[in-house]
Chain A
Amino acid sequence: MDGVHDMGGMDGFGKVEPERDEPVFHARWEGRVVAMTRAMATLGHWNIDVGRYGIEVLPPHVYLSSSYYRRWFLRTADLIVQRGLVGADELAAGRAFRADEEKGRKKFSLADVERVTRRGSFGRTAPAPARFRIGDRVRAINIHPRSHTRLPRYVRGHVGVVERLHGAHVFPDAYVAGKGEDPQWLYTVCFESRELWGPDADPTVKISVDAFEPYLERA
């Protein structure tokens, strides 16, 4: 979706302000949100693509005015209700009305913690040979899907060069749209800065994105 999350190239956000000796969490609740979110995702209630889309669909004013972990909290609260894991009435009341009604439900326990520290594996068997080779000139297609995509706006319509081939991976666009994993080849495609940002751009800069094969056409 063409949301505010797709920020590459936008102006007006000011300077980057690194914090000296930054703590991992700035408040206790941030760590709890990370832990709860990772636990629920590790139980298999949603994958990374669904989780990301859950943040992208936050209303723009909420997205822009919330801290990073507040966005995580809002997303996780939305997803557990959407997936029927927690009732909207329970979330509103701040307590469970129907505790443990499903026996045999998967519970995230200490033994599962190690799984959290391993990032998921999204590599899959390729359904067909790769269409592009390293060195090929490709154009990022001009698409504006209403749902989740990993093709940022700032490269759409622009020509770059295939630089790396990463194998086939779960295709986020398909997964979030409910069409299954639909594995696709993944490429690093590199663009000249002037191709993306026009004649005034710094010519010593190149920018790459990781693009799934359906995002690309031969140029």
Chain B
Amino acid sequence: MELRVRALETILVEKGYVEPVALDRIVELYETRIGPHIGARVVAKAWADPSFRQALLQDATQAVNAFSPAGRIGDHLVAVENTPGVHNLVVCTLCSCYPWDVLGLPPVWYKSFAYRSRAVKEPRAVLADFGVALPRETDIRVWDSTAETRFMVVPMRPAGTEDWDEERLAALVTRDCMVGTGLPKDPQAAA
């Protein structure tokens, strides 16, 4: 693949469609600047600031603008909140739709045939693959991102973090817990 891709780039550059330095910059952005640390800050703020939490659940596209390195998030982001009664899980069965703006590029498992096929049919078994076991009575809500709407999960704030500031809280928020395949880190282990 390396050779074929290099040849394609040569053609696009020779024909005047792209500048190699611009491509370098895109790669760098996704490798270093746009990633789940953005979403983690959003979740931490939602945990710490009730009015921001409300705004996020009401209109996530607007609420997260300030967190985006680009200064603006594309339409149309929806934040869904986990509660003691409901656990949310996000998938794209048709493709790989994922909230790039706040989580970066999706991991391989998110795009895998196993995840895409099973998440809508047996989400508890899929969660078990991630080592997550929810109480039997917890409802599971699966969001299949079939259109241009993108979903992020706001996990439940771990107990024992009442006096933590946003920076400490953000360190508990993993990529997987914002997709719904994980839970936040244990604050005791992280402390």
Q: Which of the segments B45-53, B110-118, B152-160, B164-172 contacts the partner chain?
A: B110-118
Point out the residue from B116, B126, B139, B176 that lies within 8 Å of A8, measured CB to CB: B116
B2-A96 in contact (CB<8A): no
Does B16 make an interface contact (CB < 8 A)? yes
Interface residues of B in 1-35 (CB under 8 A from A): 1-12, 14-19, 21-27, 29-31, 34-35
Number of residue pairs across A and B with beta carbons under 8 Å? 276
Q: Count A-side interface residues using an 8 Å CB cutoff.
A: 96
- Smallest CB-CB separation from B72: which chain A residue? A118
- Specify which chain A residues have a CB less than 8 angstroms from the CB of B115 in the assembled complex: 16
A117-B34 in contact (CB<8A): yes
Interface residues of A in 33-50 (CB under 8 A from B): 33-36, 38-40, 43, 48
- Smallest CB-CB separation from A207: which chain B residue? B142
A34-B107 in contact (CB<8A): no
- Smallest CB-CB separation from B95: which chain A residue? A52
- Specify which chain B residues have a CB less than 8 angstroms from the CB of A110 in the assembled complex: 19, 21-22, 25
B114-A169 in contact (CB<8A): no
Q: How far is the CA of A28 from the CA of B2 in the complex (A)?
A: 7
B1-A27 in contact (CB<8A): yes
> Given A7-B93, A16-B126, A107-B19: A29 and B75 within 8 A (CB)?
no
Point out the residue from A94, A118, A120 that lies within 8 Å of B70, measured CB to CB: A118
